[in-house]
């Protein structure tokens, strides 16, 4: 049987998307967030459990940089490098989202209708 790229894919338990597009996130350090988060996870040996990907615009530009974590559909906004340790410890390791960073617009479906 032939093997291909899909045969080598490591199933991840958690997928983190960091916005890298739009008007705000790239100018407020989303690339730095992605690099730091990947480094933090690698230092803890979590790179097989958690994958960090660059995403397109998450349409919450006014409150970026934004991060979305699945499973759970948890959206974080205004994320700064200093917030990453808490996200890793509380959410990615402990399973408890960081409430102070959760995006109010993503949590409220009515906010989409008002835009």
Taken in order of first residue, the domains within the chain and their CATH numbers are 12-114 (3.40.30.10)
What per-residue confidence (pLDDT) applies to 41? 97
What per-residue confidence (pLDDT) applies to 12? 87
Per residue, what are the HEC states of the chain? CCCCHHHHCCCCCEEEEEECCCCCHHHHCHHHHHHHHHHHHHHCCCCCCEEEEEECCCCCHHHCCCEEEECCCEEECCCCHHHHHHHHHHHHHCCCCCHHHECHHHHCHHHHHHC
The pLDDT tens digits along the chain (115 residues) read 556 555 556 678 999 999 999 878 999 999 999 999 999 999 999 999 999 999 999 999 899 999 999 999 999 999 999 999 999 999 999 999 999 999 987 655 544 443 3
What per-residue confidence (pLDDT) applies to 106? 66
């Amino acid at each position: 049987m032939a093997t291909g790229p899909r045969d080598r894919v490591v199933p991840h338990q958690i997928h983190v998307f960091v916005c890298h597009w739009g008007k705000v996130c790239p100018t407020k350090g989303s690339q730095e967030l992605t690099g730091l988060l990947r480094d933090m996870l690698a230092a803890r040996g979590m790179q097989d459990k958690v994958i960090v990907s660059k995403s397109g615009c998450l349409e919450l530009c006014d409150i970026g940089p934004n991060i979305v974590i699945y499973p759970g559909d948890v959206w974080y906004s205004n994320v700064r490098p200093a917030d990453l340790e808490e996200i890793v410890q509380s959410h990615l390791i402990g399973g408890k989202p960081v409430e102070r960073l959760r995006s109010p617009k993503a949590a409220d479906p009515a906010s989409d209708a008002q835009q």
